[in-house]
Structure 1
């Protein structure tokens, strides 16, 4: 089950999943060009979209112009006009020999979804390695609940994020939790991968649970760092998350 991440724009990844016959599933094609180059003359089985932002859906029209019968799965959101099938939380999709469950993960946008199945998690801009997405349309309790839901999936799940942000995220993560040995190991790995020109993704949920401060809001060291930054006690994990996200929004290394 070959998995490819196709670089697009400055730091996006478009994900391609191929079956044994070479048929492909395309996830969040913000740009059609790398997808067309990768697929050649073979039409995709389907396109999965996580949310409406242009760097995730901008290439869909060109792909449909090339292969007009391609099904496009997307959340209920009028800002994604190319959808041929709307999906909702808990829905199970059978695409070729693959099976995925749709997970509603609001926070980055109000209608954001993720797709989990086949040991993979296509999470768009909700979860990044060592980080998470900004809250453009959600609240800290919403986003923290979405991340907690993803973190509860099996630890060996491969996390297919949509951006190469890991190295920048690592600086903030180490600021929050400098004594975390698993984080030190991950940062060393990330630096070596980027120095070699290789992607830092996919990661695993077990690795993210051990290293990503946004999935560790109940860990005493992370809570203490958030409270020190806020200057007062924080009531719960959502408050810790909200403090971390606001801190990260203004963070400069």
Structure 2
């Protein structure tokens, strides 16, 4: 990978991501929860901010956009089909769009569920999934339906297994605690939660995570497995039914 990615903690538990290609001197940001920590990182690096990529319209992902745009003249990229709820977009994208950002070919995935207009940006080896697929979890289903969110996660699951997943929040320990209520005897899950606790004890992010690890330990990604269906209710239930029940339980956790 010829780009570097910096994780920037924002607000109480959000993450923004700075992507930089040193060779061509181009920098992009995925989501802008607040401006000041992002400005501090950009200025300390001596970079400009060429693009801001927005995954969805929630305030804790866009509140810093206007201040950043005013300072750096950044071009704002977001979902054409949700443009009325996003800050003014310079580049409107759909799932058919092909972008070149920081010298990398970037594709767009429609991943509705958390919001109807949620999208993910996929760079070579890195997927910025925000509040769709998260480390050991997934976003709440606010605007879509459970089958819609399940289908979005399955779309992400088709990416190469070594893809690094950059999600929008530091929810991993809470997600892990919930996952352990379902699979108390999953040794890989138990080991992962212990590793994530060590990361947080050191003050370090638990993201990104590798897609392959999510497929093996994230209960939402395992909703199609016979083992998870048996835990949740019946091996005969559909994938969507199993996912919906897991999401409902997590909402009450």
> Is the TM value for this pair above 0.5?
yes
- Aligned match of 2:178: 172
Aligned residues: 246
Residue 176 of structure 1: how far off its partner (Å): 1.1
Residue 184 of structure 1: how far off its partner (Å): 1.4
Is contact 2:137-2:172 (8 Å) kept?
yes
Is contact 1:60-1:82 (8 Å) kept?
no
Q: Which aligned pairs between 1:47-126 and structure 2 lie closer than 5 A? A: 47-68=52-73, 70-76=74-80, 77=82, 78-126=84-132
Cα displacement string for residues 16-49 of structure 1 (whole angstroms, at most 9, x for unaligned residues): 1111245321000110111111111532121100
In the alignment, structure 1 residue 181 sits paired with structure 2 residue 187: yes
Gaps of 5+ in 2: none
Residue 233 of structure 1: how far off its partner (Å): 7.0
For residues 26 and 112 of structure 1, the distance between their equivalents in structure 2, rounded to whole angstroms, comes to 16
For residues 241 and 96 of structure 2, the distance between their equivalents in structure 1, rounded to whole angstroms, comes to 27
Q: Which moved more, 1:54-63 or 1:42-51?
A: 42-51
For residues 169 and 45 of structure 1, the distance between their equivalents in structure 2, rounded to whole angstroms, comes to 34
- What is the DSSP-based 3-state SS (H/G/I as helix, E as strand, rest coil) of the residue aligned with 1:213? coil
- Aligned match of 2:35: 32
For residues 22 and 235 of structure 2, the distance between their equivalents in structure 1, rounded to whole angstroms, comes to 53
Cα displacement string for residues 47-76 of structure 1 (whole angstroms, at most 9, x for unaligned residues): 1000000010110000111123x2111012
For residues 223 and 233 of structure 1, the distance between their equivalents in structure 2, rounded to whole angstroms, comes to 5
- Aligned match of 2:21: 19
Is contact 1:104-1:111 (8 Å) kept?
yes
TM-score by length of 2: 0.94
- Aligned match of 2:7: 5
In the alignment, structure 1 residue 147 sits paired with structure 2 residue 149: no
For residues 241 and 121 of structure 1, the distance between their equivalents in structure 2, rounded to whole angstroms, comes to 22
Is contact 1:125-1:163 (8 Å) kept?
yes
Gaps of 5+ in 1: none
